[in-house]
Amino acid sequence: MTAAWIAVLATAAGCYALKLAGLTVPQRILADQRVRRFAELVPVALLAALSAAQTVTNGQAFDFDPARLAGLGAAVVALVLRAPFLVVIIVAAATAAGLRAAGIS
Amino acid sequence: MSAQQTESATPPGREGAGSAGGGRFAARPPGPNRPPRPVRDGIGLGLAVGVSGVAFGAAAVSSGLTVWQACALSVLAFTGASQFALASVIASGGSLLAGTAGAILLGSRNTLYGLRLAEVVRPRRLLRLPAALGVIDETTAITLAQPDPASARKAFGATFCCLYVTWNLATLGGALGAGRIASPQAFGLDVVGPAAFLALIWPRLKSGRTERLVALAGVALALAMTSVLPVGVPVILAATAALGGALAPPAAQHSALPNAGEASATTAPPGLDSAAPDSTSPDNTSPGDPA
């Protein structure tokens, strides 16, 4: 078994264990109002951070790709216009793809 | 979002998953003759996000993993950000240990999601084992946006199944075609993730000042730490923003303190569910499907 396989399987096992831990933790932990509020806000903080990181970083460096930024900007416009979820995604991807096809970035 | 089409019985923006995307189970009028909303939403999201598995498969193989290693990650780990993180560390020549640690750390947010999902989905003992695999960003967002526990369970099942199958097939396709297709970027696939995550939290951002502050703080923390900490860690660190929001004085918080079952629809902000696809959307073709 190669080192890469060990990394792959260790990642898989670790990720699964973390997921299972969340499902099996005693529910009374959520009885505390602050814990509950924390659990509610976590997706907001993490998804926002994830969205930003995937947009403007590449590894440990910043990477301001014009087409990608424009794609996310288009998504924001679509969201403001109350477009359905899939439309938002398609508009974002199409904007980035279009700009790249036009030779930008 | 689609609120005007799918939630016509309630004033726009007045129904949904305000508290954490969940917890408030407002009554929803029975729908017309189509598949239940939760299932449609789940399948739509599953297809839309699942195709970005192509990007992962291609990235994994071009980073040096084999096709089977790429597929094993999608089948067994099934959490996109961690998978991408491992692939990117391998591609940049980082140590496998650091890559593995970063990927697992990045997966720790799923523990926090699981806390919330367990409360709503309540899988029985043995069902927890397969259900755990499905505890990820997208299933959490859709599930917590549902108006009642029954819909939540359906939404979780539909999103998980559809996303799992699509993600794995797409991974295989991307891995096999890595050398043949143009860069996934040419199809704008690199924007799918960021746009989807933003769309999923958008209703929450509109719902309360605390949510907006928490999101902004999370973004600021993650970006500030990008060049200092290993890949994946800054995003985890963003959870401390949620901690700040949770400890903030209740007065500063949005009125809807989460109380499963009794939060009022009248004060509820627009829900995550309005972020979900509706039956009138163009259909389930993937954004940038490299066909």
Reading chain B (291 residues) residue by residue, the pLDDT tens digits are: 333 333 333 333 333 333 333 333 434 444 445 567 788 888 888 887 888 788 788 778 877 899 999 999 999 999 987 888 788 777 766 678 877 877 887 788 898 889 889 888 888 888 999 999 999 988 998 898 888 999 999 999 999 999 999 999 999 998 998 766 656 677 787 787 788 778 878 888 998 899 999 999 999 999 999 899 877 678 778 888 988 998 887 644 444 434 333 333 333 333 333 333 333 333 333 333 332
Q: Do A85 and B45 make contact, defined as CB atoms within 8 angstroms?
A: yes
Nearest to B288 by CA among A48, A98, A103, A102: A98
Instruction: Check whether residue A44 and residue A6 sit in a common domain.
Output: no
d(CA B204, CA B104): 27
Interface with B, mutate which of A18, A35, A57, A81 (most B CBs under 10 A): A18
Instruction: Check whether residue A76 and residue A45 sit in a common domain.
Output: yes
Instruction: Check whether residue A19 and residue A45 sit in a common domain.
Output: no
Instruction: Check whether residue A42 and residue A85 sit in a common domain.
Output: yes
Instruction: Give chain A's domain count.
Output: 2
Complex prediction ipTM: 0.84
Residues in chain B within 8 Å Cβ distance of A26 = none
Instruction: Check whether residue A4 and residue A22 sit in a common domain.
Output: yes
To the nearest whole Å, the CA of A60 is away from the closest chain B CA by 5
Instruction: Check whether residue A97 and residue A86 sit in a common domain.
Output: yes
In sequence order, the 6+-apart residues with CB closer than 8 A to the CB of B151 are: B28, B36, B37, B38
**A6 lies in which domain range?**
1-27
B 150-179 near A (Cβ less than 8 A): none
Whether residue B276 lies within 8 A of chain A, CB to CB, comes out as yes
Q: Where is B200: in which H helix or E strand?
A: helix B192-207
Instruction: Check whether residue A52 and residue A78 sit in a common domain.
Output: yes
Report the DSSP beta bridge partners of residue A57: A62
DSSP A38-93: HHHHHHHHHHHHHHHHHHHEETTEE---HHHHHHHHHHHHHHHTT--HHHHHHHHH
Instruction: Check whether residue A22 and residue A44 sit in a common domain.
Output: no
Left, alpha or beta for B36 (phi > 0: left; psi -120 to 50: alpha)? beta
Instruction: Check whether residue A34 and residue A19 sit in a common domain.
Output: no
Instruction: Check whether residue A12 and residue A56 sit in a common domain.
Output: no
Instruction: Check whether residue A15 and residue A43 sit in a common domain.
Output: no
Residues in chain B within 8 Å Cβ distance of A4 = 64-66, 69, 90, 96
Instruction: Check whether residue A41 and residue A90 sit in a common domain.
Output: yes
Q: Which residue of B has its CA nearest to A50?
A: B235
B 39-98 near A (Cβ less than 8 A): 44-45, 48, 64-66, 69, 72-73, 76-79, 81-83, 86, 88, 90, 92, 96-97
Q: Do B188 and A94 make contact, defined as CB atoms within 8 angstroms?
A: yes
Left, alpha or beta for B53 (phi > 0: left; psi -120 to 50: alpha)? alpha
